[in-house]
Chain A
Amino acid sequence: MTTKRIGYTSPYLPAEIIFASGLTPVRLRPAESLSAADGFLPRNFSVEARALLAAALENGLDLDAVVFLDEDDTSRRLFDVWHAYAEIPALGLVPLPRLDSETACQRYAHALVALSDSLAALSGQPLTADGLRRAIDLYNEQRCLWRSLRQRWIEGALSASEWHDLRWMALTTDPVSANAELAARLLPHPQPLSQRERGEKTCLLLLGGMNIPRQLLAFIESCGARVVAEDSEADERVVTESVSGPDMEALAAAYLTKPCGPRPNALARRLERITQLLDERGAQGVIAYYPKFADAYLAEYLVLAEVFKARGLPALLLEDDGESGFSGQQRTRLEAFLEVLS
């Protein structure tokens, strides 16, 4: 049976709720063209947001509705413009707490209950406790598979491009099909890289926003380096620890306390997490690939750069302008950076 497809942009939204409402959750990722968004959003607005809007205005998204979260200035204004001009309906602006206190989690759980009512109206299938439990179980199963496959990638038994494709398949497909495909990829057990082989390649921490382009990952590998950790909303900042309870409160808490992106109240937690990744994965350099005009990332980078400098780690900041793809200039800068590291 074909179910309606619901897009969402924020990694703080539990896909479980959409699936438990009889709908297919689809994490949106920026398209490669921005031009359709010109005139609707300022040209100095986050390129990820402009690319998403452009795709919607060009009818490039096969979706029945989209859920927005009040995550920051960008998401709020994207919602306003989307709501006014895109044909795909926006299901309100879900209040996302910026704190992760107990009260904040409770508030978020209430907001998610309200969202589930809108979703039920769309699917004709009200959210039930059993349905939510089943969805949480399915996604918990997916999290186990995700962690196992990530470990294979870290060991070098999966290429960065393969790992990229698998992650995005999981984020944009219903969990039943996605789990089957992830499990199938776990069955053959290719040989990981030997210690010597791994030692020959420069290990990198890659910092990013919603999405790191596949071409960038492939190019890094083609230069003889390895990304050993990708701190983006499509890898390290995805909820990959099992949700501990079967209800909305547990779900809200799991997503609010997930490894976070740049947020004002979480700088210490971010620094701790990045430092942990550097130590655990043995990164020898850092590449930050951030969407242009994404304030939070760029502002936080000021602090991160101080940390990298204090640790003697070379770091490179690349900004994705959303229009040139992974450009020749960026390739040249990256090549030079990797040459220095090797």
Chain B
Amino acid sequence: MKLDFGQILSEAEARPDSLAMNAALRLLHSPRGLQLARWIAPLDPRLPAHFRPSAKFTLELARRLYAEKTEHVVWASVFVPCELLWGLGLMPFYPEVAAAAGAAIGLTPRAIASAAEAGTPVDLCTYHRASFGLEREGFYPSAAAFVSTSHLCTLAGIMLAAEAHRRAKPFRLIDVPPTFDSDSLDYVEAQLQTLVSDLEVATGARYDPDRMREALRLSNAARAFALELNALRVQKPAPLRGGPMLTVLGLGLWILGHRDGVSHFRAWRDYTAERVERRDPEQSNQKIRLFWLHLRPYGESGLIEHLENDLGGVIAFEEHNTLWWDELDEARPLRALAAKILGHPSNGSIERRLAMILDGVKRYECDGVVHFSHWGCRQAAGATRVIRDRLRREGIPMLELDGDCIDPANVQSGPLRTRIEAFVETLV
């Protein structure tokens, strides 16, 4: 049975002594409880092998974020590379990714309501409204400092800066130019150097070049497995279901540079290779191959399941699982991370993202493209018309689905199902 924290929280209002509610919150803040969960959960025989490293990582992360060395926790926007923070011996916390996790376990309706009670405007992206609410409800950890990049999601920077202001903690912005050239690299690298110094002051951490190099080495090792995994997904039939991969990707933003990242991607590579070898795809019914842009609803909408199970559409690959960066240069770690930040395909004008999409569609031999436009995401959904028209000129059909990754009340399942059915019909 799915644990619905949202329901538990709603009921808790009527019954403030709710055991479940108290237990959930207490668990998050209990070092021993989290340690116990970390030992027990990965041993659960029902947990598939390729999920064990990530389960171990997540539980260990929760223990360290909430119960151990909380003075080393740094909140960051999703495009601040986690290697930088792991390499400093710090604990990255990504409120946006945590909001998606909250949506998956039913927490976000209550969190969004909580944010509304505090006056958060309803036109803001639900990732950030839910984050604000989850923080109010006590689900987010303490923080020693806040960091954001400037290039994608303007709102993330402002929300993090505001949270830093409320907590009287430092906030730092990494200013990312829209162009990728050596001057921009110098500029971002210099900012990362300053950021490292600022984080040392804010957290008491010390920059150890060997530890930073180790974080990059681990990231590169994980990346190598991820590249192999992505290469295996070129196969027909597609070995994996894309729906779950749209969830796994969030972890990729958090786990790179950590030793569990290597075992995580190795496990997924092995699992996929085995599927390919056995010619045993996760999704047996594959009529059309799709390239998926942006994200998915993380709560229960049934949309992806309908596409995969009923319509025979397989998500062959997802935009956000593209590894856009080169191997990180361990000899110049901050420059390498600057390149990773600058090189994001959605940085700058839409042309870079378009080039990545066209490459992906070609590589994974997709019949069409679906763009799930998260309500409130201006950077991702702002230029979908340009993407659609360009793809059309290339003879690639695209469907845009308007919905919400975080707020299930804002996902109109009926119309979305109808639209995706019609789209699949045209492609079959």
Shortest distance between the CB of B126 and any CB in chain A (Å): 12
Q: Which of A91-99, A176-184, A224-232 touches B? A: A91-99
Q: Which of A246-254, A299-307, A326-334 touches B? A: A299-307
Judge whether A190 is part of the interface by a CB distance below 8 angstroms. Answer: no
Judge whether B384 is part of the interface by a CB distance below 8 angstroms. Answer: yes
Which residues in B have their C-beta under 8 angstroms from that of A74? 154, 378, 382
Bound-complex Cα distance A244 to B91 (A): 45
Shortest distance between the CB of B311 and any CB in chain A (Å): 26
Contact: A264 with B385, CB < 8 Å?
no
Interface flags for A84-116 (1: CB within 8 Å of B; 0: not) read: 110000000101011100011001001000000
Shortest distance between the CB of B363 and any CB in chain A (Å): 24
Judge whether A157 is part of the interface by a CB distance below 8 angstroms. Answer: no
Judge whether A293 is part of the interface by a CB distance below 8 angstroms. Answer: yes
Shortest distance between the CB of A140 and any CB in chain B (Å): 28
Contact of B173 among A81, A265, A302 (CB under 8 A): A265
Contact: B383 with A77, CB < 8 Å?
yes
Interface flags for A28-53 (1: CB within 8 Å of B; 0: not) read: 00000000000111101110000000
Contact: B124 with A295, CB < 8 Å?
yes
Contact: B379 with A73, CB < 8 Å?
yes
Closest to B382 in A: A77
Contact of A80 among B154, B179, B350, B375 (CB under 8 A): B350
Which residues in A have their C-beta under 8 angstroms from that of B158? 262-264, 267, 295-296, 299-300
Judge whether B229 is part of the interface by a CB distance below 8 angstroms. Answer: no
Closest to A43 in B: B402
Closest to A39 in B: B385
Judge whether A339 is part of the interface by a CB distance below 8 angstroms. Answer: no
Q: Contacts A76-B178, A99-B173 hold; do A42 and B384 have CB atoms under 8 A apart? A: yes
Which residues in A have their C-beta under 8 angstroms from that of B119? 302, 305
Contact: B382 with A104, CB < 8 Å?
no
Contact: A299 with B179, CB < 8 Å?
no
Which residues in A have their C-beta under 8 angstroms from that of B161? 264-265, 267
Which residues in B have their C-beta under 8 angstroms from that of A78? 382
Residue of B152, B165, B349, B350 ringed by the most chain A CB atoms within 10 A: B349
Contact: B385 with A81, CB < 8 Å?
yes
Contact: B389 with A84, CB < 8 Å?
yes
Shortest distance between the CB of B397 and any CB in chain A (Å): 17
Interface flags for A164-177 (1: CB within 8 Å of B; 0: not) read: 00000000000000
Shortest distance between the CB of B419 and any CB in chain A (Å): 16
Shortest distance between the CB of B411 and any CB in chain A (Å): 15
Judge whether B323 is part of the interface by a CB distance below 8 angstroms. Answer: no
Which residues in B have their C-beta under 8 angstroms from that of A305? 119
Q: Contacts A267-B171, A303-B162 hold; do A77 and B178 have CB atoms under 8 A apart? A: no
Instruction: Please classify the interface of chain A as helix (H, G, I), strand (E, B), loop, or mixed, using the class held by over half of its residues.
Output: helix
Contact: B386 with A80, CB < 8 Å?
yes
Contact: A93 with B348, CB < 8 Å?
yes
Shortest distance between the CB of B347 and any CB in chain A (Å): 9
Q: Contacts A81-B383, A98-B175 hold; do A44 and B123 have CB atoms under 8 A apart? A: yes
Which residues in A have their C-beta under 8 angstroms from that of B382? 41-42, 45, 73-74, 76-78, 80-81
Q: Contacts A103-B187, A295-B154, A299-B155 hold; do A77 and B350 have CB atoms under 8 A apart? A: yes
Closest to A292 in B: B123
Contact of B178 among A42, A85, A93, A306 (CB under 8 A): A93
Closest to B122 in A: A298
Interface residues on B, range: 35 or more
Bound-complex Cα distance A184 to B7 (A): 67
Closest to B379 in A: A73
Contact: B177 with A95, CB < 8 Å?
yes
Judge whether B150 is part of the interface by a CB distance below 8 angstroms. Answer: yes
Q: Contacts A264-B157, A293-B123 hold; do A99 and B379 have CB atoms under 8 A apart? A: no
Which residues in A have their C-beta under 8 angstroms from that of B118? 302
Contact: B375 with A44, CB < 8 Å?
yes
Judge whether B376 is part of the interface by a CB distance below 8 angstroms. Answer: yes
Which residues in B have their C-beta under 8 angstroms from that of A107? 177, 183, 187
Contact: B150 with A46, CB < 8 Å?
no
Interface flags for B106-149 (1: CB within 8 Å of A; 0: not) read: 00000000000011110111001000000000000000000010
Bound-complex Cα distance A80 to B373 (A): 17
Contact: B123 with A264, CB < 8 Å?
no
Shortest distance between the CB of B197 and any CB in chain A (Å): 14
Bound-complex Cα distance A83 to B383 (A): 11
Contact: B123 with A80, CB < 8 Å?
no
Interface flags for B382-423 (1: CB within 8 Å of A; 0: not) read: 111110010000000000001000000000000000000000
Judge whether B159 is part of the interface by a CB distance below 8 angstroms. Answer: yes
Q: Contacts A76-B178, A97-B177, A305-B119 hold; do A299 and B128 have CB atoms under 8 A apart? A: yes
Interface flags for B307-346 (1: CB within 8 Å of A; 0: not) read: 0000000000000000000000000000000000000000
Shortest distance between the CB of A70 and any CB in chain B (Å): 5
Judge whether A72 is part of the interface by a CB distance below 8 angstroms. Answer: yes
Which residues in B have their C-beta under 8 angstroms from that of A317? 121
Shortest distance between the CB of A45 and any CB in chain B (Å): 6
Bound-complex Cα distance A83 to B348 (A): 13
Closest to B353 in A: A80
Bound-complex Cα distance A122 to B153 (A): 33
Contact: A79 with B349, CB < 8 Å?
yes
> Can you list 22 contacts pairing A with B, beta carbon distance less than 8 Å?
A41-B382, A42-B378, A42-B381, A44-B375, A45-B378, A73-B155, A73-B382, A80-B350, A80-B386, A83-B349, A84-B385, A95-B177, A104-B175, A107-B183, A263-B157, A265-B175, A267-B165, A293-B123, A295-B378, A299-B128, A302-B121, A305-B119
With A78-B382, A264-B171, A299-B124 known, 14 other A-B pairs at CB within 8 A are: A42-B378, A70-B348, A73-B153, A73-B379, A74-B382, A95-B177, A97-B175, A104-B175, A264-B161, A267-B162, A296-B154, A296-B155, A301-B121, A302-B118
Which 3 pairs show the lowest CB-CB distances between chains A and B?
Answer: A77-B382, A264-B157, A73-B379
